[in-house]
Amino acid sequence: MDLIYSLVDFVLHIDDHLLEIVNNYQTWTYLILFLIIFVETGVVVMPFLPGDSLLFAAGMLAAQPNELNVWIMIILLLIAAITGDSLNYSIGKHFGMRVTKFKLFGKQIIKEEQIEKTHAFYEKYGSKTIVIARFVPIVRTLAPFVGGIGRMHYGTFLTYNVIGAFLWVVGITLAGYFLGNIPIIRDNFSQVVLLIILISILPIAFEVVKEKLKKRDGA
């Protein structure tokens, strides 16, 4: 429970935590951000790490004088996102569903229904799932893994991986960079994070509702 509380607090107040990290670790902050994005996209059992909110907050922080260089950060995070997805693809290809049995504190991290929802994304959007999934929490981590299990052609995967990483990292980081200093956004950052999360999960919510309506109509 303490872990969950700490994680929620970190996500909702990630701007404050990032500032603290910069003050404590200076240039090492780039490596810390790199590792968070790499692990969130590259390790299938870590889908709960912050992604969208981290990019937005990092962009917002980079807009402050004498803090992070936004272009160095974007390049490093692009590399993290691309290599992370490639690692996840390889894990799915070589180890398959055995990885989903991994447990943390006695609880299974990846649930079968999450894999099934990701499969449904593939059935609807095909290879474009790799791009779309970048903007959907949990699915973002599972999509390359499922692509590896399904033996998607790596050239095709890598193409969509690079496109998705570019749109995700550059888009959200620059949004934070240019919008983060607007007073209403800066002073209500927790609410902005919740809005980002809400927008991110809308595709999943839409699919769930549509599927239930389809089953009800077919009953």
pLDDT in tens, the chain (219 residues): 454 455 555 555 566 677 778 778 888 889 989 988 998 888 877 666 677 888 988 888 888 877 789 999 999 999 999 999 999 999 888 887 777 676 655 666 666 677 777 777 777 777 888 888 888 877 888 888 888 888 888 998 999 999 999 999 999 999 989 987 788 887 777 777 777 777 766 766 676 677 677 766 665
Q: pLDDT for 173-216, tens place per residue?
A: 999 899 877 888 877 777 777 777 777 667 666 766 776 777 66
Q: Which residues pair with 107 in a beta bridge?
A: 104
Nearest to 156, CA basis, from 167, 144, 169, 142: 144
- From residue 55, alpha-carbon distances to 33, 39, 139 in Å are 9, 14, 17
Rounded-to-10 torsion of CA 13, 1, 29, 65: 10
| Count of domains for the chain | 1
Domain that holds residue 200: 2-218
Q: What amino acid occupies position 167?
A: L
Q: What amino acid occupies position 166?
A: F
